[in-house]
């Protein structure tokens, strides 16, 4: 069973979808201007943000989205398990969560632009590759996936995480296709 929480205040409305035990966050959204385009961020894993509270990463994502002219954002993750440090993902049986892919595809299908932003940890269990293949498959079968962008890439070719980037960091198209991504990274088989 999934739990949905919704907040409203005078400036930003939002919400989040969690599993019943509140250990997995599948989706988080914020809206400040309904008529403006929608942005989706695909990051590594949820930390502490919920329907009522923004953590530093969500505040940074909102700041970027507003500066680029977007009116809302949805945040999904490679791993839905909530953890304050990515190493904690290795200590659980299922860091992905049973509803993760469904919410990931849903958020991306609703977005006008998708930002890949999971940072260096995306290679854990080859989840980055799995998600890129999922997006490629969904695009081929449904033609609904908008272009993929990033905030630059790490030395290993992973899309950079937004938290510690400069405010004036610009979007760039995600530079690699699935085969190119897997050829440039050592963790793809």
Return the closest-CA partner of residue 176 out of 120, 123, 119, 136.
136
The rounded distance, in Å, linking the Cα atoms of 74 and 83 is 19
Query: Where does residue 69 rank: exposed (0-12), middle (13-18), buried (19+ CB within 10 A)?
Result: exposed
Strand partners, 19: 2
Would you state the pLDDT for residue 5?
A: 58
pLDDT at residue number 187: 35
In a domain, 138, yes or no: yes
Q: Please check whether residue 189 lies inside any domain of the structure.
A: no
125 in a structural domain: yes
Would you say residue 130 lies in a domain? yes
Return the structure tokens found at 171: 């979007």
Burial of residue 92 (number of CB atoms within 10 Å: 0-12, 13-18, 19+): middle
Residue 179 DSSP SS3 = helix
Q: Is the pTM higher than 0.85? A: yes
Three-class secondary structure of residue 181 per DSSP: helix
Overall residue count recorded for the chain in this entry: 189
Structure tokens of 78? Answer: 């490679």
- More confidently predicted of 24 and 52: 24
pLDDT digits (tens, 9 = 90+) for 15-47: 999 999 999 999 999 999 999 999 999 999 999
Overall average pLDDT of the 128-141 stretch:
88
Residue 21's domain comprises 2-184
Count of structural domains, the chain: 1
Q: What is the mean pLDDT of the chain?
A: 89
Half-sphere exposure of 86 (CA within 13 A, CB side): 15
> 156 in a domain, yes or no?
yes
Residue 168 lies in a domain: yes
Residue 90 scores a pLDDT above 90: yes
Q: In angstroms, rounded to a whole number, what is the distance separating the alpha carbons of residues 133 and 151?
A: 20
């Amino acid at each position: 069973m999934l739990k949905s929480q919704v907040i409203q205040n005078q400036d930003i409305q939002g919400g989040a979808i969690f599993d019943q035990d509140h250990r997995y966050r599948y989706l988080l959204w914020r809206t400040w201007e309904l008529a403006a385009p929608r942005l989706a961020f695909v990051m590594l894993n949820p930390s502490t943000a919920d329907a009522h509270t923004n953590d530093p990463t969500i505040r940074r994502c909102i700041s970027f989205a507003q500066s680029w002219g977007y009116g809302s954002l949805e945040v999904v993750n490679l791993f839905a398990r909530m953890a304050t440090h990515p190493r904690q993902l290795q200590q659980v049986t299922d860091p992905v969560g049973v509803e993760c892919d469904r919410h990931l595809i849903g958020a991306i299908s609703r977005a006008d632009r998708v930002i890949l932003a999971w940072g260096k940890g995306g290679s854990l269990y080859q989840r980055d590759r799995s998600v890129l293949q999922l997006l490629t498959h969904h695009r081929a079968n449904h033609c609904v996936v908008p272009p993929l962008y990033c905030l630059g890439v790490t030395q290993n070719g992973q899309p950079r995480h937004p938290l510690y980037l400069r405010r004036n960091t610009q979007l760039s198209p995600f530079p690699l296709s699935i085969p190119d991504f897997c050829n440039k990274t050592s963790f793809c088989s």
